[in-house]
Copies of this chain bind each other. A is one copy, B any other.
Amino acid sequence: MKIIMEPIGTIHSPFSFGDPMPVQSIEGRDIEGYIELLPEYIDGLKDLDGFSHIILLFHIHLNKKVKMQTRPFMENEYRGIFATRSPSRPNHIGMSVVRVDRVNGNRIYIRDLDIVDGTPLLDIKPYIKVINEKDKVKLGWFEKHKSRDVKWHD
C-alpha cells in the first residue's frame, strides 16, 4: 500500500546541506527561518499567529537511508531506530517544535530551527500543552543524558 503525499510548502533556514547543524530545535534556539506555504493553503493559516509554538512535520528529503539500528553519537550502544530521532527511518518524516514569530501572507517566520534549508513541509499542527505534555515520563536509554545539553542524532 502506497500513500502519496505532496509538500504544502518549503522550510527556509540558514543551514545548507553539509553545514554543522543543531540536532534538535532546543539546540537551534533563536535560529530564525521561515516557511513559505503554497498559495493554495493560505486560508489554512487563519488563527495560527495566536499560538507561540507549532509542530512541523516535514520530509527528510536529503536522507535516503533506512537503518533499523543506529548509534546516537553520545552513546556507545546501537539503539532501535524507533527509540531514536535518527533521520534514517522508514518514511523519513521529521518532526520539530518551533516558535512562531509572525505570519505574513503565506510566510510563517519561525525560530528554534534545526532543519536544513529547502526541506519540504508536510503538515503544521498547533502545539497544545495539555495534549502534548505528559506526566510520569520514562526516557529509556536517553534518561542518563537528559540533564546534559541535548545533542543527539544518528
Which A41-82 residues have C-beta < 8 A from chain B?
41, 43-55, 57, 59, 61, 68-69, 78-82
Chain B contacts for A68, CB-based, 8 A: 41, 43-44
Question: Could you tell me if B140 and A83 are in contact, using CB atoms closer than 8 angstroms?
Answer: no
Q: A122-B91, A134-B53 are in contact. Are A139 and B150 (CB under 8 A)?
A: no
Closest CB pairs A-B (n = 8): A50-B140, A46-B80, A52-B138, A43-B68, A47-B83, A44-B81, A82-B124, A44-B68
4 further A-B contacts with Cβ under 8 Å, apart from A6-B91, A93-B123, are A57-B93, A82-B124, A85-B125, A130-B150
Number of identical protomers: 2
Question: Could you tell me if B44 and A69 are in contact, using CB atoms closer than 8 angstroms?
Answer: yes
Task: Summarize A's interface: helix, strand, loop or mixed.
Answer: mixed
A21 within 8 A of B: no
Chain B contacts for A48, CB-based, 8 A: 80, 82-83, 140
Partner of A6, one of B3, B89, B137: B3
Question: Could you tell me if A139 and B50 are in contact, using CB atoms closer than 8 angstroms?
Answer: yes
CA distance A25 to B131 in the complex (A): 8
CA distance A95 to B53 in the complex (A): 16
Contact pattern, A 116-135, Cβ under 8 Å of B = 1, otherwise 0: 00001011111111111110
A-B contact pairs, 7 of them (CB 8 A): A1-B6, A3-B7, A51-B140, A57-B93, A85-B131, A91-B122, A132-B133
Q: A43-B69, A91-B5 are in contact. Are A142 and B120 (CB under 8 A)?
A: no
